[in-house]
Amino acid sequence: MNDSGTSRHVVVVGASLAGTRTVQNLRSLGFAGTITLIGAEDELPYDRPPLSKDLLRSDWSTDAVEANRLLSRDELEALDLDLRLGVAATALDTDARRVSLADGTAVAYDVLVIATGAAARPSPWRPASGVLQLRTLAESRAIAERLALGEPVVVVGGGFIGTEIAAAAVDFGCEVTVVDPVAEPMTRIVGPHIASSLVDLHEQRGATTRFGVGVTDIRGEAGALTVVLSDGSELAASTAVVGIGSIPSTEWLAGSGLTLENGVGTDAYLRARGASDVYAIGDVARWPHPERGMDVRAEHWTNASDQARYVAAAITHSASAPFESSEYVWSDQYDWKIHTVGFRTPDGESIVVGDLDADGRVAVIHADGDGNACGAVTVNWIRALNQIRRLLASGGTAQSIADQLQAPAAVVAAPARKEA
Ligand SMILES: Cc1cc2nc3c(=O)[nH]c(=O)nc-3n(C[C@H](O)[C@H](O)[C@H](O)COP(=O)(O)OP(=O)(O)OC[C@H]3O[C@@H](n4cnc5c(N)ncnc54)[C@H](O)[C@@H]3O)c2cc1C
């Protein structure tokens, strides 16, 4: 069915990557009905990955900020939207098919797309000032202002965002300490081989790592903070940036009848469980992953973008096949470009191709319990990444993929430890 949809009203809640890409795709697929886009932030839609990378390090000129918009004002106007920025959705009534907004108004829908993403997991430590977190443009700017002082910074959380902030802080000339209760914090995402190299990288570039030890308190105020660690030691800092994960933005859906458990539960077609004509996409959605055999909530740019495209097509043409994620994630750590595709399983082996120290690049191919390739991580090796993506799509063993990469397979590494 190809439906220009003039009689239908699509309401999209959340005006960031997933929401914006949904409305763009709807229009490019010929949807001619009314589209309402609702966003809590009083900002034209912007991209988040640069908030911990290029933009964080930038001069924050108007040009730098505007270049980070997901679309220009002209492009936005051409979409002919009923645009409601700066107003949050506060409730959903799926029987009446109505979304209530913080300004006291309500919007009726024929089709609803929930794209409210996630928020930074709140810091448990809240001194009067000096503790910052990162999810929004304003928060990135606030962190940049503190880093520009060149004073000591403690980053709590050694995940992608925390370590990207740490790398930026080193570039700003700050004395930086990264704290995380996990000994090699990135292991779950990139596997033990690269996680271990990342710890070395931070140390080599001048950050101090306190991994395997947690934070129990942060006292004081901006410029004079004391970060107390679980081993009893204390770190003095001017600023602390707390990056301890995120939580899906579902508060407004309480009582809606949707399945809310670490996000909005959907079926394999991204249709929210518990209502009809309601989809959930992006960081807020938790959907059944066919290969992993479990429900997954992915917090990655490409996933949000893929799901927006899929749902726009489902609304205009109806979906014939379940959603499939391209499972692609990247991170910049200093001058390292890290890319992951697919996934890794705790019981599978990983094959390392290349040598970071000798060649400055490496690829690690993950196998599932049967030896079949299910994912990979590359560092500074785009050609291998592209090759692996093609080979993963056509199936085969991890060893066969390793053999096809030009560099010889060097090490066969089983998982080194049980991970946290
Ligand atoms: C600092 C940072 C760096 C990142 N770097 C990378 C990276 O290198 N690689 C990668 O793959 N991914 C990265 N990501 C993740 C990526 O940005 C997200 O996966 C992506 O933004 C998800 O898009 P989304 O639209 O689903 O959710 P979000 O971007 O979270 O947007 C949700 C929007 O909904 C709004 N909203 C929430 N509640 C309501 C409500 N009740 N009513 C109306 N609006 C509401 C929010 O204000 C927000 O604007 C990064 C994220 C951050 C924060």
State the Cα–Cα distance between residues 117 and 280, nearest whole angstrom: 10
| Nearest CA, atom 14, ligand 1 | 49
Domain-embedded: residue 156: yes
Q: Which of 144, 212, 179, 167 is nearest to 331 (CA)?
A: 167
136 and 177 inside one domain? yes
Residue 225 lies in domain: 122-244
Q: Is 149 helix (H, G, I), strand (E, B) or coil?
A: coil
229 and 131 inside one domain? yes
For residues 266 and 279, the answer to whether their CB atoms sit within 8 Å is yes
pLDDT tens-place string over residues 211-260: 999 999 999 999 999 999 999 999 999 999 999 999 999 999 999 999 99
**Minimum mean pLDDT range among 4-8, 294-298, 368-372:** 4-8
Residue 420 confidence (pLDDT): 33
Spacing, Cα 176 to ligand 1 middle (Å): 26
Domain-embedded: residue 322: no
CATH number for 358: 3.30.390.30
Residue 416 confidence (pLDDT): 43
Ligand 1 pocket mutation, candidates 70, 301, 326, criterion most atoms within 8 A of CB: 301
CB 118 less than 6 A from any atom of ligand 1:
yes
13 and 114 inside one domain? yes
Q: Which of 170, 62, 159 is nearest to 120 (CA)?
A: 159
264 and 359 inside one domain? no
Mean pLDDT of the 52-78 span: 96
Residue 414 confidence (pLDDT): 46
State the Cα–Cα distance between residues 292 and 176, nearest whole angstrom: 37
Residue 209 confidence (pLDDT): 96
Higher pLDDT, 413 or 184: 184
Banded model confidence at residue 348, pLDDT cuts 50, 70, 90: confident
CB 46 less than 6 A from any atom of ligand 1:
no
Spacing, Cα 44 to ligand 1 middle (Å): 14
Spacing, Cα 283 to ligand 1 middle (Å): 7
Residue 290 confidence (pLDDT): 84
Residue 44 confidence (pLDDT): 96
CB 329 less than 6 A from any atom of ligand 1:
yes
CB 89 less than 6 A from any atom of ligand 1:
yes
Residue 419 confidence (pLDDT): 37
pLDDT tens-place string over residues 82-125: 999 999 999 999 999 999 999 999 999 999 999 999 999 999 99
Structure tokens at 7: 């009689």
22 and 115 inside one domain? yes
The number of distinct structural domains making up the chain is: 3
pLDDT tens-place string over residues 3-24: 566 689 999 999 999 999 999 9
Ligand 1 pocket mutation, candidates 283, 296, 310, criterion most atoms within 8 A of CB: 283
127 and 233 inside one domain? yes
pLDDT tens-place string over residues 163-208: 999 999 999 999 999 999 998 888 888 888 899 999 999 999 999 9
Spacing, Cα 259 to ligand 1 middle (Å): 21
Spacing, Cα 51 to ligand 1 middle (Å): 11
Residue 245 confidence (pLDDT): 95
254 and 114 inside one domain? yes
CATH number for 191: 3.50.50.60
pLDDT tens-place string over residues 385-404: 999 999 998 888 999 999 98
Q: Which of 67, 63, 28 is nearest to 47 (CA)?
A: 67
Say how far residue 285 (Cα) sits from the centre of its chain: 12
Spacing, Cα 298 to ligand 1 middle (Å): 11
| Encoded amino acid at 146, one letter | R
Residue 393 confidence (pLDDT): 87
User: What are the angstrom distances between the C-alpha of 241 and each of 13, 139, 142, 168?
Assistant: 29, 10, 11, 12
